[in-house]
Amino acid sequence: MDHYIDIRLRPDPDFPEPMLMGALYNKLHRALFDLEANGIGVSFPLCKHGVRARTLGVHLRLHSTQASLEQLMASNWLAGMRDHVSVSDVLVVPNHAKHINVARKQFNTGSLSRAKRYAKRHDISEEAARQIYAKVAEKRIELPFVQINSRSTHQRFALFIEHRKPQEEPVAGTFNHYGLSNNATVPCF
């Protein structure tokens, strides 16, 4: 985790930023899946939280070792996005960097299938379960998200991303094919 690459979206009259970031992140997921990479993390230094303005921003940062980043960039995964982004070289992480965990967060959004399962498990009517879950569905989510097509399950879903508090010491670990981890940290600067 001592190197990084900055990818910034270039302003585009035809496409809004969240759509471009979505396309970029989907491509990254595809590349990490194809490379079976588990040592590349992401962070979004300009992302915004809050119910009213949550977006991943225009800045995607890739973290890893120099060798893995070079391997990723050699795979031409940005084809089709080239004109929409500016990409830095592989750079060395500055000394003063702190460490941050960037993770997927899943929410119970009170979906119908969940209510159905609840009804089965607790042996109540579906109607009653739906009423219990109606409250859950009201919950507001403050995290930025991106629409993703999973490469393995082919499901399309909203991936909510949480940047936890920066800490002094790094935590080692593996990253999934979205560049996220439940415990490992990436540098934050």
Show which residues are catalytic. Answer: 29
By beta-carbon proximity to other proteins, the closer residue of 121 and 140 is 140
By beta-carbon proximity to other proteins, the closer residue of 79 and 92 is 79
Residue 53 to residue 59: CA distance in whole angstroms: 16
Interface with other proteins (CB under 8 A): 10-16, 19-20, 23, 26-27, 30, 51-55, 79-84, 107, 109-112, 134, 137-141, 145, 149, 154, 156, 158
Question: Minimum Å distance from CB 152 to other proteins?
Answer: 12
Longest dimension (CA), the chain: 59
Residue 30 to residue 150: CA distance in whole angstroms: 8
> Cα dist. 140→79, 80, 107 in Å?
36, 35, 10
Beta-carbon contacts of residue 73 (< 8 Å; ≥ 6 apart) = 5, 87, 90
Question: Minimum Å distance from CB 109 to other proteins?
Answer: 5
By beta-carbon proximity to other proteins, the closer residue of 54 and 63 is 54
